[in-house]
Amino acid sequence: MAVTRTSRLVVWLLLGVVLLIMYGSLYPFHFKANATHGGFWQALDQLSWARAGRGDRISNVLLYLPLGFCLFLSLNRRYRRRISLVLATVLGAILSLAVEIAQIYVSVRVPSLTDLTLNIAGTLLGAAAGIAWGAIASWMPFPVRTERASGDPGAIVVVGLWLAWRLAPFVPHFDLGKLKAALRPLFDPQFDAVTTFSYLAYWLIVSEALSALVRKPHTLEALLMLIASVLVGRLIVANQTFVAAELLALVILLPLLLVTMRLAPQPKRWLLLGLLLIAFAMDRLSPLQFAATAGSIDLWSELAQLGAALRDHTVQTLIAIDIVTVFGRLFLFGALLWTIRETGVSMTVAAVAMVTLVVVCGLARIALIEDPGAQVPTLLTDTLLALMIAATFHYVHRQRRNRTLLARANSRRARSR
């Protein structure tokens, strides 16, 4: 039987998860000789119900969640749902037991039956998530005919900027402390409605961009691969951690896709644009420390402040530039331009609308907050980034149009021969 793309994807994800578990459980690989003189049963006897801290308990569950998820999806292709659930949990328990016994030989690790129990619980929860994923996939209204994807270059830019934002500064840090630091925000999760809504809107836009790049029946597996890439990347990339609000947004995302994928293209595009505009306004205008009385904008005064910012702050701004923040703004501006363009307007109109919104929001911050002078460099930076995004979209679309025209010309010449 030929292996489908979905099964290959799950197998690769499963392999990556197992390697990550082995690395996180056995690091720093300082093995000690003669840890036990007996065989398997002697090693098993050394496992105790040692108490673990709250962070370690949560880490043990979270680390095995993706294992149960991938195991269930892989097994469910051959076995019924209940059998796949049981087998996934058993296989997760076997891996966890093997890891705990291996930790007996690592000098800085404490093998524990408590960890084994938590790992089994994480595997079971992950398998349950696999059941939910399969149910959602079966409810998705995919077309019978697998039409070709549009290959929109703007969608490629949007997805690329999303990955750049979530994975910057692109420096892997393979260390047990890094893994725990990445998971630490989940030990005491803080959920913010505004942040959760923003991440939900962003992931909806990214999902729509993916649907323009792959065939419709492959949209979910492409989204799964992207989610896995982002989460694993944030687990190992330096200075990055999980965001509780983003994970909550991902939980909400999948049921919401059931609604959006059943909408006609044009209403869906306007809905996504409305959601993104709300997220854009919240991002650009909050958190604000409003002045007691909102003042009016003195254009000449603001231009003078802009000149002073150029003279006094440009060098410091460039030195202290935060690459993660820059990619976040680039993604936001690019997603806004692409979503406006998807409603049917021309690229020029979409670019002008996006840049105008960036400038208007920047001026609103200057007019409404207590320290307007500090916002002038931000307005300048945002405007430059918005112009960069507009130029990038114009370039990639022009290149695509030129390739299309060249292909048509070659086709006409070939027919005329």
Contact 92, 71 (CB under 8 A): yes
Our CA angle for 154, 282, 289, nearest 5°, is: 140
Has residue 231 been placed in a domain? no
Instruction: Tell me what pLDDT residue 48 has.
Output: 66
What's the one-letter identity of residue 151? G
Number of domains within the chain: 2
Give 189-211 pLDDT, tens digit per residue. 888 899 999 999 999 999 999 98
Has residue 60 been placed in a domain? yes
Has residue 130 been placed in a domain? yes
Contact 233, 166 (CB under 8 A): yes
Which of 139, 162, 179 terminates a domain? The answer is 139
Taking the CA atoms of 159, 164, 170 and 175 in sequence, report the sign of the dihedral they define.
negative
Instruction: Tell me what pLDDT residue 39 has.
Output: 57
Which of 139, 169, 200 terminates a domain? The answer is 139
398 Cβ contact list (under 8 Å, min separation 6):
none
Structure tokens that stand for 279 in this block: 């997220």
61 Cβ contact list (under 8 Å, min separation 6):
118, 119, 121, 122, 125
Instruction: Tell me what pLDDT residue 41 has.
Output: 59
Give 97-149 pLDDT, tens digit per residue. 888 888 777 655 667 788 888 999 999 999 998 888 887 777 766 554 555 55
User: What's the CA gap between 18 and 32, in Å, rounded?
Assistant: 23
Q: Return the HEC string of 274-331.
A: HHHHHHHHHHHHCCCCECCCCCCCCHHHHHHHHHHHHHHCHHHHHHCCCHHHHHHHHH
Q: Phi and psi for 238 in degrees, rounded to 5? A: -60, 140
Structure tokens that stand for 386 in this block: 């918005």
Has residue 194 been placed in a domain? no
Instruction: Tell me what pLDDT residue 319 has.
Output: 40
Mean pLDDT of 301-319: 48
Q: Give 29's DSSP letter.
A: -
Has residue 16 been placed in a domain? yes
**Mapping DSSP to helix (H, G, I), strand (E, B) and coil, where does residue 384 land?**
helix
Q: Which is higher by pLDDT, 190 or 268?
A: 268
357 Cβ contact list (under 8 Å, min separation 6):
277, 280, 336
Structure tokens that stand for 340 in this block: 């406006």
Residue 390 pLDDT exceeds 60: yes
Our CA angle for 370, 376, 377, nearest 5°, is: 130
Contact 35, 97 (CB under 8 A): no
Question: Which residue is associated with the tokens 């840090």?
Answer: 173
Parent domain of 131: 1-30+39-139
Q: At what angle do helices 193-211 and 153-167 cross, to 10 degrees?
A: 140
pLDDT bracket for residue 40 (50, 70, 90): low
DSSP E strand stretches across 7-78: none
Give 315-359 pLDDT, tens digit per residue. 444 444 578 889 999 999 999 999 999 999 999 999 999 999 999
Mean pLDDT of 360-364: 88
Q: How far from chain centre, in Å, is Cα 288?
A: 26
CB atoms within 10 A of CB 61: 20
- Which among 85, 55, 91 is positioned nearest to 73, based on CA atoms? 85
Structure tokens that stand for 350 in this block: 């979409």
Instruction: Tell me what pLDDT residue 290 has.
Output: 35
Contact 244, 178 (CB under 8 A): no
pLDDT bracket for residue 2 (50, 70, 90): very low
Has residue 174 been placed in a domain? no
pLDDT bracket for residue 63 (50, 70, 90): confident
Has residue 352 been placed in a domain? yes
174 Cβ contact list (under 8 Å, min separation 6):
23, 27, 236
Beta-bridge mates of residue 76: none
Instruction: Tell me what pLDDT residue 101 has.
Output: 81
Give 74-104 pLDDT, tens digit per residue. 898 888 989 999 999 999 999 988 888 887 7
Average pLDDT, the chain: 80
Instruction: Tell me what pLDDT residue 28 has.
Output: 67
pLDDT bracket for residue 296 (50, 70, 90): very low
Tell me the percentage of the chain whose pLDDT exceeds 90.
32
DSSP E strand stretches across 192-243: none
Contact 159, 210 (CB under 8 A): yes
pTM over 0.85: no
Structure tokens that stand for 278 in this block: 């709300």
Which of 112, 139, 166 terminates a domain? The answer is 139
Beta-bridge mates of residue 172: 237
Contact 287, 353 (CB under 8 A): no
Has residue 350 been placed in a domain? yes
Q: Phi and psi for 214 in degrees, rounded to 5? A: -130, 160
Mean pLDDT of 277-286: 88
Instruction: Tell me what pLDDT residue 199 has.
Output: 96
